[in-house]
């Protein structure tokens, strides 16, 4: 009988043919084709089966892990099939899609801070260890030190790559989260294809690439790419296997993942953008033809609301918009680009509500012929529902123009950012105008985000 667990591994290899690769051939191993959609399915199964084999994990037992998401997904999948309980401690920067997916598999998810380091009680590793200690029958998977993690890649991913490449591979570009991929594939190549070089792709802010290049431990920064980059060297991460390391910015990782989809049709996640960014740089720097492999660590489907969401990219400052130091900089969703979230005066309140919910906003400009004629927010909607004598069915059918506010506070796109403050203090959101053209809306949230990206 074939179960979903039998579909782990033997992932396909495809060649990149449209992106500029210098004299090299570049291949992508699609780990995204695994059942839970990532490179972590095979180590997740291996770590659970190792704990079963050595007797630490008993029937009905509990699996605890600190995870960026994909290990959790792999563990939750295998645990669900085998009847174990799963508790996952997840840092709060992780994509919502992964967290919802873990929960849907039946895992209990505990969110914790992503901005604290080792030794802090809210640090995800320390929290997972503490939960294991107080839960009877629980084991801590500990992918950072668990030998079954790299071993899974040494016995499956490594041999698969060499076989799929007909034994000829000059370089493999990998990222490091736990180090399982690097150490597992690297060890296999050292023993079976010693000329193959392991190349590290690392997010800017991680300490790993600087350590490889300078031998020094830098202060860690922060990065948005998920699943790779570290503020310490995990026990499972054997950096002596690395012959070259590249630091790739979030902006380049995101742009590369988007380009991969547009040019090659491969929907890959943010860490794959980092890996491909480094792989392309490596390929373009070669003077001799090389055969290079990198990995699509997970599917871009997990990041549609991040990597492939223009609004998120604008919030992170990953756009080519010029900064003016004015209110214009704070307008994330621009009306002229069709990105502003607006309603028409005759749209029913039902539409207003569903647009608010799907776009996660609490107010919207009411626009007629490209002019803002009103503003509608959740209190207008609730007010109408509470006072309407005809019942909520009728209220939801009423047009937006019936309940919108018409006393509008506009501000020039060229005004200084500080000019927004008095407006916000009076409880308004700002309708931003370029002379008589509507540019978009700015809320206190946009100002908070602005100061996050550009500290005052
Ligand atoms: N990419 C993504 C998206 C991941 O979730 C992970 C695992 N954290 C990796 C790459 C790196 O894998 P490893 O743990 O083997 O270093």
Cα of 275 to ligand 1 centre, how many Å?
Answer: 11
Last-in-domain residue among 140, 175, 194: 140
How far away, in angstroms, is 229 Cα from ligand 1 center?
Answer: 9
State whether 375 and 253 are in the same domain: no
**Ligand 1 geometric centre to CA of 180 (Å):** 8
Band of pLDDT at residue 321, cut at 50, 70 and 90:
confident
Atom of ligand 1 nearest to the CA of 149: 15
Q: Could you tell me if residue 78 is inside a domain?
A: yes
Last residue of a domain, one of 140, 164, 199: 140
Q: Looking at the structure, tell me whether residues 188 and 118 fall in a common domain.
A: no
Look at residues 250, 269, 303 and tell me which one is the last residue of a structural domain: 303
168 catalytic, yes or no?
no
Mutation probe of ligand 1 site: the residue of 228, 237, 278 with most atoms within 8 A of C-beta: 228
Q: Please check whether residue 314 lies inside any domain of the structure.
A: no
Q: What is the pLDDT of residue 320?
A: 83
User: What residue's CA is closest to ligand 1, atom 4?
Assistant: 227
Residue 317 lies in a domain: no
Task: Let me know if residue 310 belongs to a domain.
Answer: no
Of the CA atoms within 13 Å of residue 141, those in its CB half-sphere come to 32
Indicate whether 209 and 279 sit together in one domain. Answer: yes
Q: Is 339 exposed, middle or buried (CB count within 10 Å of its CB: 0-12, 13-18, 19+)?
A: middle
Atom of ligand 1 nearest to the CA of 43: 15
Ligand 1: residues whose CB is within 6 Å?
A: 38-40, 68, 70-71, 175-181, 226-228, 269, 271, 297-298
- Cα of 272 from ligand 1 centre, angstroms: 10
Structure tokens at 31: 């780990």
> For residue 73, what is the domain's CATH number?
3.40.50.1100
Report pLDDT digits (tens) over 213-226.
Answer: 999 999 999 899 99
Q: Kindly give the number of the ligand 1 atom that is closest to the alpha carbon of 236.
A: 16
Instruction: Give the position, in ligand 1's atom list, of the atom nearest the Cα of 180.
Output: 15
Instruction: Please check whether residues 136 and 151 belong to one and the same domain.
Output: no
* Catalytic, out of 40, 290, 302, 306: 40
Residues 280, 429: one domain? no
Other C-beta atoms closer than 10 Å to the C-beta of 382 total 12
Domain for residue 309, yes or no? no
Pairing of strands 25-30, 291-296: parallel
Report the CATH number that the domain containing residue 422 is assigned in CATH: 3.10.580.10
**180 and 291 both lie in a single domain:** yes
Top mean pLDDT of 56-70, 282-296, 378-392, 438-452 is at 282-296
Question: How far is ligand 1, taken at its centre, from the CA of residue 227, in Å?
Answer: 5
Same domain assignment for residues 274 and 153: yes
Same domain, 51 and 26: no
- 21 close to 289: Cβ distance less than 8 angstroms: no
Count of domains for the chain: 3
One domain for residues 288 and 348: no
Average pLDDT, the chain: 94
The answer on 103 and 193 residing in a single domain is no
* Predicted model pTM: 0.91
158, 19: one domain: yes
What's the CA gap between 292 and 282, in Å, rounded?
A: 9
Boundaries of domain holding 346: 323-453
Q: What is the pLDDT of residues 181-216, one digit of tens each?
A: 999 999 999 999 999 999 999 999 999 999 999 999
Strand partners, 283: none
Residue 181 placed within a domain: yes
CA neighbor of 300 nearest in space, from 105, 5, 27, 31: 31
In a domain, 123, yes or no: yes
CA-to-CA separations, 386 to 173, 272, 381, in angstroms, rounded: 60, 50, 9
User: What confidence tens digit (pLDDT) does each residue in 4-46 have?
Assistant: 999 999 999 999 999 999 999 999 999 999 999 999 999 999 9
Token pair for 449: 């985000």
- How far is the C-alpha of 42 from the C-alpha of 71, rounded, in Å? 9
Closest CA to 405 of 430, 427, 425, 377: 377
Same domain, 290 and 158: yes
């Amino acid at each position: 009988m074939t179960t979903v667990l039998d579909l782990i591994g033997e992932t396909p290899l495809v060649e990149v043919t449209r992106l500029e690769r210098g004299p090299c051939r570049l291949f992508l191993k699609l780990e995204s084709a695994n059942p839970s959609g990532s490179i972590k399915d095979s180590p997740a199964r291996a770590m659970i089966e190792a704990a079963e084999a050595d007797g630490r994990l008993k029937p009905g037992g509990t699996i605890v892990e600190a995870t960026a998401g994909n290990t959790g997904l792999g563990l939750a999948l295998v645990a669900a099939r085998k009847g174990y309980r799963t508790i996952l401690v997840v840092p709060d920067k992780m994509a919502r899609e992964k967290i919802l997916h873990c929960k849907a598999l039946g895992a209990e998810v505990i969110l914790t801070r992503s901005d604290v380091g080792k030794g802090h009680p809210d640090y995800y590793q320390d929290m997972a260890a503490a939960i294991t200690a107080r839960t009877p029958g629980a084991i801590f998977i500990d992918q950072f030190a668990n030998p079954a993690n790299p071993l899974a890649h040494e016995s499956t991913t490594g041999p698969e790559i060499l076989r799929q490449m007909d034994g000829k591979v000059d370089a493999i570009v990998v990222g490091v989260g736990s180090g399982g991929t690097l150490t597992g594939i690297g060890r296999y190549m050292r023993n079976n294809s010693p000329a193959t070089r392991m190349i590290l792709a690392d997010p800017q802010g991680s300490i790993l690439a600087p350590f490889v290049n300078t031998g020094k431990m830098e202060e860690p920064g922060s990065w948005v790419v998920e699943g790779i980059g570290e503020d310490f060297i995990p026990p499972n991460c054997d950096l002596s296997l690395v012959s070259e390391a590249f630091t790739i910015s979030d902006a380049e990782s995101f742009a590369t993942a988007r380009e991969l989809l547009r040019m090659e049709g491969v929907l890959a996640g943010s860490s794959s953008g980092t890996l491909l960014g480094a792989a392309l740089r490596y390929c373009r720097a070669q003077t001799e033809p090389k055969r290079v492999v990198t990995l699509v660590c997970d599917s871009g489907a997990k990041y549609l609301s991040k990597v492939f969401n223009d609004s998120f990219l604008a919030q992170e400052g990953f756009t080519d918009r010029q900064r003016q130091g004015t209110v214009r900089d704070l307008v994330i969703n621009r009306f002229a680009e069709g990105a502003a979230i607006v309603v028409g005066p005759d749209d029913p309140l039902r539409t207003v509500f569903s647009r608010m919910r799907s776009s996660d906003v609490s107010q919207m400009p009411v626009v007629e012929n490209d002019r803002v004629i009103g503003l509608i927010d959740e209190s207008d909607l609730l007010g109408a529902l509470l006072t309407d004598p005809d019942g909520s069915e009728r209220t939801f059918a009423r047009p937006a123009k019936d309940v919108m506010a018409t006393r509008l506070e506009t501000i020039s796109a060229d005004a200084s950012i500080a000019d927004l403050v008095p407006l916000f203090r009076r409880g308004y959101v700002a309708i931003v105008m370029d002379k008589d053209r509507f540019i978009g809306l700015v809320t206190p949230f946009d100002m908070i985000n602005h100061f996050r990206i550009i500290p005052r």
